[in-house]
Amino acid sequence: AVVSTQSTWEAVVSTQSTWEAVVSTQSTWTWKQWYQRRVHGKQWYQRRVHGKYADREEKDSMDAEGMMQFFSDVGANPEGIEALGVAWILGLQEMGDIDRQPFIDGFSKLGCSGMSDIRKQVDKVKSQLKDQGSFKKFYRWLFTHLKGDDKKKAIPADLATQIWPIVFGDRYPLLGRFCDFLDNSETDYVTKDVWEQLLDFLREMKSDLSNFEEMAAWPVLVDEFVEAVSKEEKT
C-alpha cells in the first residue's frame, strides 16, 4: 500500500511538473507573440503613414512635396530647425531624404503607433532643442548628417552659411557677420573643428568681441574673422 501511495504521489508530482512546463512554455510563447505583434503592429502603422506622403513613383522615398506636407501635419516647420530635429531623432543619414525603412524603424523604436504619437515626439524634440546639452548633441550630429559620406572631412562653406541661420536663429548677433565674412573669404570648406567650436565662440563672445582673447585656442578661421572685424572697425 505504501509503494502504491508513493507511486501515485510521484505520478502527481510528475504530472504537475509537466503542467508547469507547459504553462511556462505557453507563457513564453504568448509573450513573444505579444511583443512581435506590438512591434510589427507599430511598423504597420508607420508604413501606412510613410505611404501617405511617399513619392507616387518611388514608393520607398518621400518627394519634396510629401516631406513638406508631412512636417506640416506633425507640427514641424519644414524649413526650420524642427525638421532637422526630426531627422536627428530618426538617425537619418542623408540630408533631404526620408526613406521608408529608416522612417518605420525610427518611429517604431520611439514607440509611435500613428500620427498622434509622432506629433508627441516632434513636441518632445522641440523641447530638447531648447536645452543646451541636447542642442549640442544635435549640433554635433548635424555636421555628420550634412557631410553624408563618412570619408569626407568637411562640408561646403556655402552649405554651412545656409544652415547656421536655420539652426541658431537670431540668438547670436555675431553669426550674421561671421557668415558674411565666410561668404567673402576664400574658404571653400568648413571642418568639424570649426563647426563645433563656432557654437562655443558664439555663446561666449560679446557682440563687440571685447572679451576675445588672442591667446585662446580658437580655430584659425575664427582668428581671421576677429582680425577682419577689427580692421573693419578701424577704417
pLDDT tens figures, 32-77: 444 444 445 457 767 888 889 988 888 888 988 999 999 999 999 9
pLDDT tens string 78-125: 999 999 999 999 998 888 888 889 999 999 999 998 899 999 999 999
The pairing of strands 154-156 and 189-191 is antiparallel
**Average pLDDT for the chain:** 84
Q: Give the integer Cα–Cα distance in Å for 134 and 99.
A: 25
The pTM of this model reads: 0.78
Left (φ > 0), alpha (ψ -120 to 50) or beta: where does 91 sit?
left
Q: How confident is the model at residue 2 (pLDDT cuts 50, 70, 90)?
A: very low
| Secondary structure letter of residue 33 according to DSSP | H
| pLDDT score of 204 more than 60 | yes
